[in-house]
Amino acid sequence: MRALTKQQSLFFTILCLNSLLTLSPIASLEDDLSFTPDILVEGNMTIVSPCEVFELGFFKPGNNSGWYLGIWYKNVQNRTVVWVANRDTPLSNSSGALLMTGDHGNIFLLDPSGNVTWSSNHTQVLRPNVLLLDTGNLVIKEGTENSQTIFWQSFDYPTHILLPDMKLGWNLSTGLNRHLTSWKSSEDPSTGDFSIKLDYHGFPEIFLWHKHVKNFRTGPWNGMIFSGVPEMCASKHGVDFNFVTKQDEVYYSFSLQNKLELEYSGLTVSPNGDVQQITWVESTKMWNIFQYPPKDQCDSYGECGPFGICDTNASPVCKCVRGFQPKNLEAWNLGNGLDGCVRKRELKCTKDKFLRLRSVKLPESWGAFVDRDMSLEACKEKCLENCSCSAYCNMEITNGGRGCVMWFRELMDMRVYADGGQDLYVRLAPSEIGGDGKETLAIIIVVAIVGLVILLAGLGFYIVWKRNLRISRNARTQPKGPCGRSQVLLLNEVVFTSKDFYSGERINDEPELALIDFSTVAVATNNFSDENLLGEGGFGYVYKGTLTEGQEIAVKRLSKNSGQGTEEFKNELKLIARLQHINLVRLLACCIDKDEQMLIYEYMENKSLDAFLFSREKRSTLDWQKRYNIICGIARGLVYLHQDSRFRIIHRDLKASNILLDGEFTPKISDFGMARIFGKDQNESHTRRVVGTYGYMSPEYAMDGFFSTKSDVFSFGVLVLEIISGKKNKGFFNYSDNKPNLLDCAWKQWKEGKGLEIVDSSLGNSYCPSEVLRCIQVGLLCVQEHVVDRPTMSSVVFMLSSPDATMPQPKTPGFCLGRNPAGQTDSSSSKLEGSHTTDQVTIAALDGR
């Protein structure tokens, strides 16, 4: 088309359409072809919706950008655009125009030189009427305003925001797929890299895409919310979520309960991939932003591969479903779970059993079979019959569960939730679960006979072992007082006299590492029964056991052979067993049997710190004195690990769930030295990920894979602030949601001289403010951004125990909101953006000295 004036161009367009029209039956109805087009919008003219909620017009989002036709909230000061017509074809200046032809009701956007840059596309309408509704929908209707038939609407072509009552999903009869796509940047509305699309194949769910890569999956609709977005429960206030699956359409939408209040709200995807619900708060004249997943490592699509389950509280986060083992063990142990897991035992088809996984995010359900009316029992029968059915579950959880879903492929992208999720039944070979009648009986008889022999043989051994235990118990009765004044003397004593007192280490030379038979462990743990399962920590399942003499133990059954020879493994364990300190969990014995490797630890009555700290009911059990003792205990345990004379151990994964508590709430660090067992023989040429837990990782470790004792100091600082506040530090991925994490909060309050604001309210007034403030200051010193600024653990112990010592003022913490979210001065934050795959190498966890 040549460059024409607006009128000419339009005329030309009309002629084109008109020549088409003559072929269509509608043409015969056209009796009043009017060639004077209506100008709807031009220059700075706008269309405003009846109640003045929305406004349609031209806008220029950035100083250097072109002009766009869009819809925005009329009454929001900073222009918040909700729809853009010509997002990829900006106009060079504002003298474009939106026109409507009188004859068939299409609307055209002309650029300043008169070319058509955008148009609505629909069949012809007789007496068209263009309206901007108060919902933000630009519609073309026929005839009068009361007419209900909509021929075209902007709601069918969403850009980056889903407004209330707008549909995200498919019209299956026309193939129209309404989806959201982010802007390129906050000043550039053109099609960005992130999009949100509904997939209706199998059991419908919504995906967040980064270009052509799946980034996050909401999980299927469970009747109330998406099973992979438990946050929806929290954001439910005043909002109804709808998910509709019908013959001819599948979509998600939300609506506001109180429509009269005209509350503004929208679901949006930001240019850097944050999915957010924004809601206008009139009193503050600000947008309130609610951040949806992806938020943590486990939200990342396929983080643990097929048949892998992601658990943010475990370390590494990936584990295999029971009955499965890592496909690529080396990568797996280094925290890269992408290859997933494979079955240990062949399936036996109709003889198979099902394992119940609780509170999981259902696997990716492309191609899953769905039956709305089938009961769970019938679902199980049907799944059992078809040998390629890998799992089943209820379709919805409302009213105690209904319907049936079956999977026929690898189970992909699962994770566990502390709260929420759904029960999934996974097919396993019968021998993985108890087995059936005869087989089990035979096994029991054999085990019983073997056990009896071993029991007799082991009796002598026990006597020897028990004596060793008694010796080591004596060693454990070292003073463990709080960091109070009395401790200062002790500390001085330590500094000036004996290092061995400090460490609490046994004085006699070689502690024996007891070896226990498999069968003994099996008997002690009731054959690894589910009742005895304590948890699924990093590296394997943990069972509670009781030895025949009544001693309680915790058995860590390593998920798979660590890849070391038996002798080498034993040597490593001897080293670890030599680390003995009142604040470390004691390794009592080990068990090596073919490919089974188990570590036997002392049993901790009160389980782990996180179970208290982050539980609404139990947190009040921890009064300030207990918390203070815990902080001091952990600090001393770390000094021991970092400064022991024989070798230095960097824990690398210090977090609340790795701090166990005995009957008297003495903290015991667990999982130390695991890197030594699992991290050996690293192949440097592989790219791999940082091992550890987001939220506790220091910046230099998370970004550059560089770690030192100071990385542990950082984690310790986070832990201290968590213990004081009773709140979990939420990692650092949600930079842009402007919701400060714990470090931000603590730092901000501290700067304003209101440090005590972060103290857990369940503590009431039962603490000494100066003591708490000292702890907060120590915590902040530990999480400082720059490695050199952070104190060593021994000076931490000193600071904690000397009320009168002057301490330096903390500087900005790492991963702080106020730092440089846009990444202007430091490349590190841009490295983080949008992905969790920092491909950095984690090198030696501990270096011999």
Q: How far is the CB of 247 from ligand NAG (least distance, A)?
A: 9
191 binding ligand NAG? (CB under 6 A): no
Are the beta carbons of 520 and 448 closer than 8 angstroms?
no
Which of 19, 34, 174, 398 is in the footprint of ligand NAG by CB under 6 A?
Answer: 174
438 is an annotated ligand-binding site residue? no
595 binding ligand NAG? (CB under 6 A): no
Which of 89, 119, 561, 643 is in the footprint of ligand NAG by CB under 6 A?
Answer: 119
The span from the CA of 364 to the CA of 500, in Å, is 54
366 binding ligand NAG? (CB under 6 A): no
By DSSP bridging, strand 414-415 and strand 308-310 are parallel
Instruction: Identify which of residues 249 and 263 has a Cβ nearer to ligand NAG in the complex.
Output: 249
Residue 239: other Cβ atoms inside 10 A = 17
Which range, of 109-117, 212-220, 486-494, 621-629, touches ligand NAG by CB under 6 A?
109-117
Spell out the alpha helix ranges (H) of 682-751. Answer: 699-704, 709-725, 742-751
Q: How far is the CB of 124 from ligand NAG (least distance, A)?
A: 13
3 binding ligand NAG? (CB under 6 A): yes
Which of 7, 24, 89, 113 is in the footprint of ligand NAG by CB under 6 A?
Answer: 113
Q: Note the maximum CA span of the chain.
A: 109
Tokens 């017509």 correspond to: 85
Binding-site size for ligand NAG (CB under 6 A) equals 29
Angle, CA 647 vertex, CA 646 and CA 653 arms, to 5°: 145
Which range, of 92-100, 125-133, 322-330, 780-788, touches ligand NAG by CB under 6 A?
92-100
111 binding ligand NAG? (CB under 6 A): yes
200 binding ligand NAG? (CB under 6 A): no
Instruction: Identify which of residues 58 and 732 has a Cβ nearer to ligand NAG in the complex.
Output: 58
147 binding ligand NAG? (CB under 6 A): no
Which of 95, 245, 564, 643 is in the footprint of ligand NAG by CB under 6 A?
Answer: 95
The H helix count followed by the E strand count for the chain is 18, 41
The span from the CA of 612 to the CA of 47, in Å, is 57
79 binding ligand NAG? (CB under 6 A): no
Are the beta carbons of 229 and 246 closer than 8 angstroms?
no
- Does an H or E element contain 674, and which? helix 674-678
410 binding ligand NAG? (CB under 6 A): no
CB burial readout 80-118, b (16+ within 10 A) else e: ebbbbbbbeebbeeeebbbbbbbbbbbbbbbbebbbbbb
- Pick from 130, 103, 115: nearest CA to 41: 130
Which range, of 91-99, 100-108, 334-342, 652-660, touches ligand NAG by CB under 6 A?
91-99
Spell out the alpha helix ranges (H) of 732-826. Answer: 742-751, 769-782, 793-801
233 binding ligand NAG? (CB under 6 A): no
The radius of gyration of the chain from alpha carbons, rounded to an integer in Å, stands at: 32
193 binding ligand NAG? (CB under 6 A): no
Q: How far is the CB of 825 from ligand NAG (least distance, A)?
A: 18
By DSSP bridging, strand 107-110 and strand 138-142 are unpaired
Cis peptide preceding 699, ω within 30 of 0: no
11 binding ligand NAG? (CB under 6 A): no
The span from the CA of 733 to the CA of 755, in Å, is 25
- Pick from 139, 188, 140: nearest CA to 166: 139
Angle, CA 677 vertex, CA 672 and CA 678 arms, to 5°: 105
Are the beta carbons of 435 and 443 closer than 8 angstroms?
yes
Q: How far is the CB of 405 from ligand NAG (least distance, A)?
A: 12
Which of 307, 332, 369, 732 is in the footprint of ligand NAG by CB under 6 A?
Answer: 369
285 binding ligand NAG? (CB under 6 A): yes
Told to judge if 653 belongs to the known catalytic residues of this protein, a careful annotator would answer: yes
Q: Which of residues 27-66 bind ligand NAG (CB under 6 A)?
A: 43-44, 63
Q: How far is the CB of 196 from ligand NAG (least distance, A)?
A: 20
78 binding ligand NAG? (CB under 6 A): yes
Q: Which residues share a beta bridge with 618?
A: none
The span from the CA of 29 to the CA of 684, in Å, is 76
251 binding ligand NAG? (CB under 6 A): no
Residue 563: DSSP 8-state: S
8 binding ligand NAG? (CB under 6 A): no
DSSP per position, 465-491 = HHHHHHHHHHHH------SSHHHHHHH
148 binding ligand NAG? (CB under 6 A): no
Which of 112, 430, 451, 740 is in the footprint of ligand NAG by CB under 6 A?
Answer: 112
Active-site residue (options: 274, 413, 653, 737): 653
Which amino acid belongs to residue 549? Answer: E
Q: How far is the CB of 184 from ligand NAG (least distance, A)?
A: 15
386 binding ligand NAG? (CB under 6 A): yes
Which of 93, 257, 497, 645 is in the footprint of ligand NAG by CB under 6 A?
Answer: 93
- List the structure tokens of 263: 């509350």
183 binding ligand NAG? (CB under 6 A): no
- Does an H or E element contain 403, and which? none
Instruction: Identify which of residues 20 and 418 has a Cβ nearer to ligand NAG in the complex.
Output: 20
Give the CA count within 13 Å in the CB-facing half-sphere of 257: 7
430 binding ligand NAG? (CB under 6 A): no
Instruction: Identify which of residues 290 and 640 has a Cβ nearer to ligand NAG in the complex.
Output: 290
List residues with catalytic annotation.
Answer: 653
Residues forming contacts to ligand NAG in the complex (CB under 6 A) are 1-3, 43-44, 63, 77-78, 92-93, 95, 111-113, 115, 118-119, 121, 171, 173-174, 248-249, 285-286, 369, 386, 388, 408
Residues annotated within the binding site for ATP are 556
